[in-house]
Structure 1
Amino acid sequence: MVRTVVAGLDGSPESRAATEWAAREAKLRGTALKIVHVWEPAPDPLAQAPMLGAETLQHWSERIPRETAEGVALRHPGLEVIAEQRHGSPADALTKAAEEAELLVLGSRGLSGVTGFVVGSVGLSVIAHAETPVVVVRAGEQAADEHEGDPAGVPSAATPFRPVVLGVDLRGPDDTVAAFAFEEAARRDTSVRVVHGWDLPPYYAYGIAVDPDFDQSLARQRDAALGAALRGWREKYPDVEVAVDSGQGGAARRLIDASREASLVVVGRRVRRAAFGAHVGHVTHAVLHHAAAPVAVVAHH
């Protein structure tokens, strides 16, 4: 089976930006790029309307993915590009496509005038159910896998990649999430910025604990636990520089702040077997909507 990075394409600027990001990622990984366009049939009364006739159907179901694939192949010489059309529910079809790939890349609309994404229902559903890592990319300058010294966000071999940001939850750290982040950093020859945030226990906030050194003691405990969690990854990836951003305060806000200087933000999502609902966790949900860089959501058990 051909190793692939899959990009979901619906013809929007956001999905085209995602496809470009996916093409660069596929080249970094040495895989093929598969562009998947999902055609959701219209209800019978609408399907018979003149404006949704055979010519329009052919345009959306054949021309867009084919022409996009041709353009990507020209911009990325040597990259194998596959265009594929699927039918049915976009969320179901993309989740299925993710199962056959190393990575799924989706587009998401940028918030007008505000840093961040608008992650639609299809994207959230795919993220909540896919067990393959999913990357969300928006159109515009932040859609590029940004490099230092490149404010326009256009990749260049002459400038290094910005760091990969990794969100760590010490309550249930998982090797799958950290492995993804360190691999991405190694591919980009860049560093990993580990972000961890916590809030003081409620009883301390209400003054029940009166030791003024309590917060410092808690910080030392957290730093020690974080150091232990990262020790194996430092040894496995000795060439990847690791910076730690750990402190009191919400993890989501720290990750969103760190995303402004990142090429990629990596967060986790615990696998849940519920058939309905978008279970991605409140931190991951916030990062998806407000990060200033592409976001990778890595499912873990």
Structure 2
Amino acid sequence: MSSGTRTVTAGVDGSRAALDAADWAAREAERRRLPLRLLHAGAEPAAPAPLQDVDLPARTLLDRAAVRLSYAHPALDIVADHVETPVVPALLDAATEAEALVLGSWGATGFTGFPVGSVALAVTSASARPVVLVRAGELPEDERMPAVDGTPPHRAPYLPVVLGLDPDRPADELLAYAFETAAARSAPLHVTHTWTTPPPPRGYVPGAPQPEDAPEREEGRRRVLTSTLQPWRHKFPETTVTEHVVHGQPGPHLLKESRRAGLLVVGRRADTAGLGRAARVLVHHSACPVAVVPHR
């Protein structure tokens, strides 16, 4: 991606969701061969209870998170920062210097998906860089295929990266993030474009033939998607790309695909405040982490 954005940054607040997100960020930093930055914003964090199986004196929240991750990822360069700036401005500022900003989301036992806190929504809606939302309880094996034939779980192939794309509004930032993420994992990339039938023209008489029938319209959508992806296929020849063109709204289709994905990637118009309807549904209910990528 663009130069000058060479860290993976995780927001740390001491919650279980934030620690699981930081662990996801550490794995992503290793895959991309980048340093990991842990950031706590606001009031000075208090020392939590001692970590299990680690005989250490009381430390600050950030120190403990860094030590925990350094044991799990000994080759990873980890920087822990605390700033007294309010949380949302601090995270938005940190995002400008990051390859991606990773935030945790609270899980709810017995429910599908996870609710997203106000801080995560505010940051995701305004960030100038990709924001990845990771649910509480996310484990390393959740992003990989089930291990077979005695293969260790950490060596099993990665699940697909799923990209929701409108080829009428292709965005280099969105496509680059999805392809680079898939390449870093040696994972397949599944690109899904959903389309709906436009409303009938003014003066349309019920029962009269439409200008195009559904099969023709779908085939046209398929050609546009293939053409949009062709230069990216050439740029990432080792990435297996599968194209899906389906009729309907994006939310339900992408939620279904998230059940068999390691990461779901969606876009957000950088010149529009807030998240669109589909993106809001996905960040609340996706079965896998969601990356929201701002684009022009």
With the length of structure 2 as denominator, give the TM-score of the two structures.
Answer: 0.87
**Does residue 279 of structure 2 align to residue 284 of structure 1?**
yes
**Does residue 93 of structure 2 align to residue 96 of structure 1?**
yes
Q: In 2, Cα distance between the equivalents of 1:170 and 1:87?
A: 42
Q: In 2, Cα distance between the equivalents of 1:32 and 1:85?
A: 17
Deviation at residue 141 of structure 1 after TM alignment: 4.1
Tell me what 2:240 maps to: 241
Q: How many residue pairs were aligned?
A: 279
Tell me what 2:84 maps to: 87
Tell me what 2:126 maps to: 129
Q: In 1, Cα distance between the equivalents of 2:16 and 2:189?
A: 29
Residues 82 and 228 of structure 1, relative CA distance in 2, 3 Å threshold: same
Segments ≥4 residues shifted beyond 2 Å: 57-60, 141-145, 155-158, 204-213
**Does residue 24 of structure 2 align to residue 21 of structure 1?**
yes
Q: In 2, Cα distance between the equivalents of 1:120 and 1:141?
A: 17
Q: In 2, Cα distance between the equivalents of 1:233 and 1:145?
A: 27
Does the CA contact (< 8 Å) of 2:162 and 2:265 recur in 1?
yes
Q: In 2, Cα distance between the equivalents of 1:144 and 1:291?
A: 17
Q: In 2, Cα distance between the equivalents of 1:123 and 1:98?
A: 12
Q: In 2, Cα distance between the equivalents of 1:2 and 1:245?
A: 31
Q: In 2, Cα distance between the equivalents of 1:272 and 1:130?
A: 11
| % identical equivalent positions | 40
* Aligned pairs (5 A) from 1:1-301: 3-40=6-43, 58-59=46-47, 63-141=60-138, 146-149=143-146, 156-203=153-200, 207=206, 209-211=208-210, 214-272=213-271, 279-301=274-296
Does the CA contact (< 8 Å) of 2:96 and 2:128 recur in 1?
yes
* Structure 1 residues not aligned, in runs of 5+: 42-56
Q: What letter is aligned with 2:19?
A: R
Q: What letter is aligned with 1:280?
A: L
Deviations 1:49-71 (A, max 9, x none): xxxxxxxx6537x6111011001
Matched residue of 1:201: which SS? coil
Deviations 1:79-116 (A, max 9, x none): 11111111132111111111121111000012442221
With the length of structure 1 as denominator, give the TM-score of the two structures.
Answer: 0.86
Residues 3 and 201 of structure 1, relative CA distance in 2, 3 Å threshold: closer
Q: In 1, Cα distance between the equivalents of 2:35 and 2:205?
A: 56
Tell me what 1:51 maps to: none
* Structure 2 residues not aligned, in runs of 5+: 49-58
Matched residue of 1:296: which SS? strand
Deviates more, 1:158-167 or 1:202-211: 202-211
Deviation at residue 241 of structure 1 after TM alignment: 0.7
Deviation at residue 128 of structure 1 after TM alignment: 1.4
RMSD: 2.5
Deviations 1:6-50 (A, max 9, x none): 100111110011000000001111111111111248xxxxxxxxx
Q: What letter is aligned with 2:119?
A: V
Q: In 2, Cα distance between the equivalents of 1:84 and 1:229?
A: 40
